[in-house]
Amino acid sequence: MIKKLSLTLFLLTVISAGGFSQEIPMLQEMTDSVSQKKPCSVLSELKPVNRATLLGVGKGFLTDTYLSPLEYDGLTFSLLHERLKGTSFFNEKLLLQHQFQIQIASTDNPTKTGSSYYGNLYYELNGFYPLVETNRFRWYGGAGWNAELGGIYNERNSNNPGSLKVSTNLNLATMALFDWRMFTFRWQLSTPIAGLFFSPEYGQSYYEMFTLGNDDGTAIFGSLHNQRAIRNYFTVDFPVGNVTIRTGYLGNYYYTDVNHIVTKILSHQFMIGFAVESLNVGGKRLKQNRWLHSVYYNEP
C-alpha cells in the first residue's frame, strides 16, 4: 500500500513539474512584455472585457389607460450593469454587449391625490460590427435582443390595481465612440423592430386571465404599428487617479397601443458609476497600457 502511494505521489510530482516547466516560458514572456511595454503573443489572445456599474436618478412619466387616463410623474432610480467584450467572430471585429438594468419609480397624478409605482427588470444583448474606424472615432452597427419584466401599481384602483409589463424583442442598434484627450465619449441607440408583449383587453381583470384561464389574445405580436420604443444612452469616461468614472444620460421611451389600451413609459436619468477593463486595469493605466488592446478606449 505504501509503495503504491509513493509511486502515485512520484508520478503526480513528475507530471506537475512537466506542466509547470511548460508554463514558465509563458509566464516569463508575459512578465517581460509588461515590463518592456511590448506586444505579447499570450496577452494578444486575451479578449478584454469592459465592465461598468452605474446608478441613475431622474424624472419618470407613466401613462397606462388600463389603470387611469391620467399621466403620472415623479422620481425614478436605476441600477445598470453593462459589459462589452471582444469576440473571435468576423476576424475578431465583432463586439458583444450585455446590459442589465433594475428600475423603480414613484409617481403622482397631476393633482397629487394618487400615486403609481413602477418597477422593471431589463436585459439587452447586442452585437456590434465596426462600420467606420479612425484613430479617434469608431462607429458600429448592430442588432440584438432584449427582454423586460415589470409592472405598474396604482393605489387608487381597487378591482384592477396593477398592470403587468412583459415583452421580448429583436432590436436594431448603433454605437459611436470618440476619444478626446483624457475623455472617451459614447453614444448608443437601440430600438425594437419585432417581438412579443403582454396586454389584457380593456376592462379584463387579471383574475379572469390567471385564475379562470381567459387569456386568449393577451400575447401580442409587436412591431412599429403597435409598439415603439427607443433607448438613448450617452456616456463619458475619464480617469480619476487609478479609477475610471463613467457618467452620462440614459433616456428610455416605451409606447404600446393595443386592445384599446395605451401605455407610455418615459424616463430621463443622470447616470454615474465606475468602469473597469479586464485584468484589473483602470484609471490612467488603462489609457496608457501597450500590452492590452482595449475594446472601448483608443490608445493615445
pLDDT at 184: 97
Q: What is the pTM for the complete model shown?
A: 0.79
> Rounded to an integer, what distance in angstroms lies between the CA atom of residue 254 and that of residue 266?
6
More confident position, 268 or 215: 268
25 assigned to some structural domain: no
**297 vs 233: which has the higher pLDDT:** 233
Query: Which one, of 175, 184, 173, lies nearest residue 139 by Cα?
Result: 175
Residue 290: closest CA among 24, 39, 122, 118 = 39
For residues 72 and 65, what is the distance between their CA atoms, to the nearest angstrom?
11
Q: Residue 241 and residue 237: Cα distance in Å, rounded? A: 13
Q: Decide if 26 is inside a domain.
A: no
Say if 121 falls within a structural domain. Answer: yes
pLDDT digits (tens, 9 = 90+) for 172-218: 999 999 999 999 999 999 999 999 999 998 888 888 888 888 888 88
CATH number of the structural domain spanning residue 74: 2.40.128.100
Torsion (CA) 169, 204, 262, 58 in degrees, nearest 10: -70
User: What integer is the mean pLDDT of 120-144?
Assistant: 96
Q: How do the residues of the chain divide into helix, strand and coil, expressed in percent and rounded to 5?
A: 15, 60, 25
The yes-or-no verdict on residue 26 having pLDDT over 70 is no
Tell me, yes or no, whether 235 lies in a domain. Answer: yes
Is the model more confident about 300 or about 242?
242
pLDDT of residue 275: 96
Instruction: Name the residue range of residue 74's domain.
Output: 52-288
Q: Please give the grid coordinates belonging to residue 50.
A: 469592459
Domain-embedded: residue 251: yes
Judge whether 237 lies within some domain. yes
Q: Is residue 184 part of a domain?
A: yes
Q: Domain tally for the chain?
A: 1
Q: Which pLDDT tens digit goes with each residue over 40-76?
A: 544 455 578 899 999 999 999 999 999 999 999 999 9
15 part of a folded domain: no
Of the chain, the percentage scoring pLDDT greater than 70 comes to 79
Coil, strand or helix: which one is 254?
strand
Please compute the mean of the pLDDT values over residues 93-100 and round it to a whole number. Answer: 96
d(CA 38, CA 290): 7
